[in-house]
A = this chain, B = another copy of it.
Amino acid sequence: MARAHGVLGGKWTTLIFRDLLPGPQRYSGLMRSLGGISPRMLAERLDMLEEAGLVERRVYPTNPPTTDYRLTALGQGMGPVIAAMAAFGSSLPPATGEA
């Protein structure tokens, strides 16, 4: 088995979805909004999600070049999952509140 879990595994994956759901984000934007992720982990997770067909990476030939990431149609399907997780998270007492 290449990876132990599927696309929902890992500490950061759902947070990346949450941040991409409203619309495209740049790499540096994600770094900021995710708060504390290392560049290595962010690149690795984005790679994984792109290979899974859930996220699309676009490079613009501006100067300097810019990049952004957005959810594919398939990736948008995570919306209800994130919403349900957020609702569940708020239903928990503070001590266990981190889903």
Say which residue of B4, B8, B99 sits within 8 Å of A85 (CB atoms). B8
Residue pair A96, B52 in contact (C-beta under 8 Å) = yes
* Chain B residues whose C-beta falls within 8 Å of the C-beta of A81 in the assembled complex: 81, 84-85, 88
Copies of this chain, how many?
Answer: 2
Grouping DSSP codes into helix (H, G, I), strand (E, B) and loop, the A interface class, with mixed when no group exceeds half, is loop
Residue pair A7, B96 in contact (C-beta under 8 Å) = yes
Interface size class of A (residues with CB under 8 A): 20 to 34
* Chain B residues whose C-beta falls within 8 Å of the C-beta of A59 in the assembled complex: none
Interface flags, A1-25, vs B, CB<8A=1, else 0: 0001111110100100000000000
Cross-chain pairs A/B with CB under 8 angstroms, 9 sampled: A6-B99, A7-B98, A8-B14, A8-B99, A52-B96, A74-B91, A77-B87, A77-B92, A81-B81
Q: Which residues of A contact B (CB under 8 A)?
A: 4-9, 11, 14, 52-54, 74, 77-78, 80-81, 83-85, 87-88, 91-93, 96-99
